[in-house]
Structure 1
Amino acid sequence: MTPVLPKSDAAALVVAARIRRGLTWAQLAEEIGAPVVWTTAALLGQHPMTPEQARCACLLLGLDESVEESLRLQPSRGADPATLTDPTVYRFHEALSVYGPALKELIHEEFGDGIMSAINFRVDIARRPDPDGDRVVVTFDGKFLDYRW
């Protein structure tokens, strides 16, 4: 039996196989039957996949059972400090550093004392044409959870 790979190793194999096979993240998500952002995060090791999802992904990508098993494991989410050195990821960090306190105040003003869930959560990305250059639209959609004393 092949040993289970670390999630980071499995993610690297997924990325290479996706490129080699000419597949987009959206195509993989459609075949797996899950949202594109969630599917991409799962294939990069940030969510556990069901056995069916992992099997489907590995069949599409031509990867073996060691990757399939890795895709099913619980992740250590956000554990890679190297992600903050990536310019795109860093800009999200920067945006939340600048606007996070304002968003927190506005959530409290609009909803009361509580938080936006990142567990009961949806995220989406879209491209919006703009005369000054296309815009990236990221939507965070989290359930409001009130603090209960």
Structure 2
Amino acid sequence: MLSREVVSAKVLSEKVARGLTWKGIAAELGSGSDLLYTAALLGQSVLTVEEAAKAAEILGLTEEEARWLTLSPERGAAAIMPPTDPLIYRFYELIQNYGTTWKALIEEEFGDGIMSAIDFNMSIEREADPKGDRVKIAMSGKFLPFKRF
């Protein structure tokens, strides 16, 4: 029986078997970011019908498997908390150590509210450094004030 998880596992298997990269796949899918397309192919976002059809061509997916890529996902459903993967755990650690600081500084600047993860942009870049390359992640989300009622 097909599910979002089964399709994502096949996507990953085909990516490896065909020697593809996420950035390479993204470049062929359309004008969206490699972050968007990777998230969708891993089951955490959605593709348009056209993008899903293109993904099916690139990765050898069936029409039914491609349709799964167009359905709204259960975001974060497969997440283990706390995360056990070392790289993902470091993000969790950042939130544990700096979450209250980020919250205080954002609220001081913007007021009582949140940064949207829906109206959101993100980029990941390699930053050269003589001590070892660094990972640079930039996030930009719309500020949404809490409504008073």
Matched, 1:13 2:15: no
Matched, 1:93 2:99: no
SS, match of residue 78 in structure 1: coil
Matched, 1:58 2:70: no
CA distance in 1, matches of 2:79, 2:69: 21
Q: How far does the alpha carbon of each residue in 1:93-113 deviate from its partner, in whole angstroms, 9 at most, with x for none?
A: 111121111001010111111
Q: How far does the alpha carbon of each residue in 1:57-84 deviate from its partner, in whole angstroms, 9 at most, with x for none?
A: 1111111122201111111101113471
Aligned residues: 146
Q: 1:6 is aligned with what amino acid?
A: S
The higher-RCO structure (CA 8 Å, 6+ apart) is: 1
CA distance in 1, matches of 2:95, 2:27: 30
Q: How does 1:1-149 map to 2 (within 5 A)?
A: 5-33=2-30, 34-82=32-80, 84-149=83-148
Q: 1:35 is aligned with what amino acid?
A: S
Structure 1 runs of 4+ aligned residues shifted over 6 Å read: none
Q: Which runs of 5+ in 2 are unaligned?
A: none
Identity of aligned residues (%): 47
Q: 1:106 is aligned with what amino acid?
A: L
CA distance in 2, matches of 1:148, 1:73: 30
TM-score scaled by structure 1? 0.92
Name which of structure 1's ranges 110-119 and 79-88 shifts more when overlaid on structure 2: 79-88
Q: 1:94 is aligned with what amino acid?
A: E
Structure ranking higher in helix proportion = 1
CA distance in 2, matches of 1:126, 1:139: 9
CA distance in 2, matches of 1:75, 1:122: 19
CA RMSD, Structure 1 to Structure 2 (Å) = 1.3
